Structure formats: C-alpha cells, structure tokens
Amino acid sequence: MNDVIPATPREAFDLLTAGNARFAAGTPRHPNQDAARRVDTASAQRPHAVLLGCSDSRLAAEIIFDQGLGDLFVVRTAGHAVGPEVLGSIEYGVSVLGCPLVVVLGHDACGAVAATRDAVREGTAARGFLRDVIERVTPSVLAAQAAGVSEDEGFIATHVRHTVDLVMDRSRELADQVAAGRTAVVGLTYRLAEGSVRTVTSRGLDVPSDPAPATASTPGNR
C-alpha cells in the first residue's frame, strides 16, 4: 500500500515515478486496490495528484503509475485537450482536494496529434466535435512546425509543454497555488512500448527534464 500520503509536490512526484518504474520493469505492487481500500475511500478521497492525460486506451493512469483507488484525480480528453471543464476539474483537484501535484501526460503515437498534423498539412476540417479537439491541439502543432520539429517525439513533447503553459496561464487558482509552493505542475511523455515516462517540463518543482528533441535545422540532426 501507499502508506504515507504525499504532502509536497516532490513527495507526490517521487511516488508516481517510483510506481512507473515498477510498472515498466514488470514488477507492479498494485497498491490500494483491495476491499479495505474500497471501504476506506467510500466516504472521502485524498488523492495526491491530478493527472490530465489523453483518453487513449493504452494510457490508464492508475496502471502505468502503479497506483490504486483514491490515489489519482484523473481528467482525460483526446489529446489532453483543455477546455473550461478540464480547467475546472484541475482547480477542484488542487483547491478542494488539496492535490500537491498536477501532471500533464502525453504519449507517442497520439491519434489526436496525428489527426491535427494531417488537418494542418492538408488544410482540411474534421467533422463533428472532433473539430474542437483538433482546434485545441493545432497551436502546439504549428509551434512544433515553426521550430523545425519533424519527428513524432518532438510534436508530442511540444504539445505537453504547451498544455502546461495553457493551464498555468488560464487558471489563476493553479498559478497561485504553484507560486505559493503548495502545488507543482509537471509535463511528462509516455512511451507505449517501454511503459516509461520522461519529464519534459515542470513548474514549481526542480526536476531534470529531457532536452527538447532535435529539429531539422539542428546541426548533427539525422
């Protein structure tokens, strides 16, 4: 079980990354998933992180971070697209539930990012409400293209960074919590085949981040 509830952004981050390391190594503990935990969390919840991730079926947060019932407050949309409901959900997790960490989780082979790249390249518009998702992802795709990014990894990392910037810029509540040191925001990318996460950006928490992927104009890039 997760015996100690993380009280700081660092503790929450370390707990999640340790859980992901177990999952990637094939040695998960499956904590907080028994009947006792179900009963303990029936009357109240005390999650230690808000996780904004993609709706992709391969990105089940509690599984890839080896967490259990009541550990994560999860918000998922295709391409982790951000609208008012998403921002409100994040603010609820931070200000009402007291989560010390917000994670934005992207992943390789993201269908929403791929669809947006195709729409931008071909100048076409999606049908129905998928258009709204593509419109929310488009600024990230355009920024990656402007920077000379050509690989999938670069587009995903750029979209995660832009999402972190967006939630920080649009949510005064979240920005204030981060400024006060009560919460931090971390952007991660997940590799489907490896099962591991990498940090690409952070706000309010000093953690090493992977360097930005090389672009077509970067010397030595192949």
| Measured distance CA(27)–CA(176) in Å, rounded | 38
Q: What is the structure's pLDDT at 214? A: 45
Is the confidence at residue 209, as pLDDT, over 90? no
The string of pLDDT tens digits covering residues 80-113 is 999 999 999 999 999 999 999 999 999 999 999 9
Which helix (H) or strand (E) is 73 found in, with range? strand 72-77
> Are residues 12 and 48 in contact, defined by beta-carbon separation less than 8 angstroms?
yes
The closest of 121, 104, 111, 98 to 57, measured between CA atoms, is 111
Q: What is the structure's pLDDT at 4? A: 72
Q: What is the structure's pLDDT at 211? A: 66
Q: What is the structure's pLDDT at 212? A: 58
Q: What is the structure's pLDDT at 124? A: 86
Q: What is the structure's pLDDT at 112? A: 96
| Measured distance CA(159)–CA(141) in Å, rounded | 7
Is the confidence at residue 219, as pLDDT, over 70? no
Q: At residue 76, what are phi and psi to the nearest 5 degrees?
A: -130, 130
Is the confidence at residue 128, as pLDDT, over 70? yes
The amino acid that residue 102 corresponds to is V
Mean pLDDT, rounded, for 43-71: 97
Q: What is the structure's pLDDT at 215? A: 43
The closest of 130, 166, 159 to 142, measured between CA atoms, is 159
Average pLDDT, the chain: 93
Q: What is the structure's pLDDT at 110? A: 97
The string of pLDDT tens digits covering residues 139-195 is 999 999 999 999 999 999 999 999 999 999 999 999 999 999 999 999 999 999 999
Q: What is the structure's pLDDT at 208? A: 85
Q: What is the structure's pLDDT at 3? A: 58
Q: At residue 184, what are phi and psi to the nearest 5 degrees?
A: -130, 160
Ordered DSSP codes for 91-121: HIIIIIS--SEEEEEEETT-HHHHHHHHHHH
Is the confidence at residue 122, as pLDDT, over 60? yes
- pLDDT-derived band of residue 221, with 50, 70 and 90 as boundaries? very low
Residue spans of alpha helices (H) in 54-208: 61-64, 84-91, 111-122, 130-146, 152-170, 172-179
Name which residue leads in pLDDT, 98 or 221. 98
